[in-house]
Amino acid sequence: MKRYLVLTGAGISAESGIRTFRDSGGLWEEHRVEDVASPQGFQKNPKLVWDFYKERFKNSLSVNPNSAHEALKRMEDALGENFHLITQNVDGLHIKAGNRRVYEMHGSLKNCFCVSCRTRYELDEIDLSQDVPLCMKCKALLRPDIVWFGEIPYYLYEIEDKLKNCDVFIVVGTSGTVYPAAGFVMTAKLFGAKTIAVNLDRPDNLGFIDEFLQGKSGDLVPPLVEKLIG
């Protein structure tokens, strides 16, 4: 059986009502990226950062997976260990849809950790009424478990292994501009995988894509999955 690896980006979540990463002005939901998505921003104003992520966490609870997420869940059900999914998204929609073999390379809105003792918590078990939540063990600051600019994404070793050993690599809803994820398709193709991309716009790394399907992921991913798994 062929081994399938999927990478998803902001485009797949946008169709569930979650806004894409940043607009043409370089803002992230009306905030300067460096203010809410960098270690320096957190050090300068942790309350602003926490206000931002509390709101995003609250919004994530009110949105649901769309037909593209559901199709990728069916794909995992059919393929089992021959399916894995990498997501750049932090909204948890793949897990809400039922996917289990998921690498959340940029972290998750539902988690946080202590900057001192590194104890990890889920947001629904801490006191979010505090301006800046504190660790229940050592009373140091908690921070959102999000990979910010200048930080190393999670699961890179596991992702590299999967990229080198997949037969088909599918990219959904990503522009191919943000590294290291934008380089994954190059690695997969170098090691012999067929590469497929689904996106509203032509991705920057189109030269490494064997088959490009242009349009909404909710429209195109379900028939693609049916075609691939029967």
Active site (catalytic) residues: 106
Show the beta-strand stretches assigned E in the chain: 4-8, 27-28, 31-32, 83-87, 102-104, 107-114, 120-122, 142-146, 168-172, 194-199, 211-214
At position 161, the amino acid (one-letter code) is: D
Question: For residues 195 and 185, what is the distance between their CA atoms, to the nearest angstrom?
Answer: 7
Which tokens go with 112?
Answer: 């946080």
Closest residue by Cα to residue 90 from 145, 171, 31: 145
Question: For residues 33 and 30, what is the distance between their CA atoms, to the nearest angstrom?
Answer: 9
Which tokens go with 230?
Answer: 């029967």
Closest residue by Cα to residue 40 from 130, 168, 148, 122: 148
Strands 4-8 and 83-87: parallel
Ordered DSSP codes for 107-172: EEEEEEEETTT--EEEGGGS-TTSSS-B-TTT-PBEEEEE--TTSPPTTHHHHHHHHHH-SEEEEE
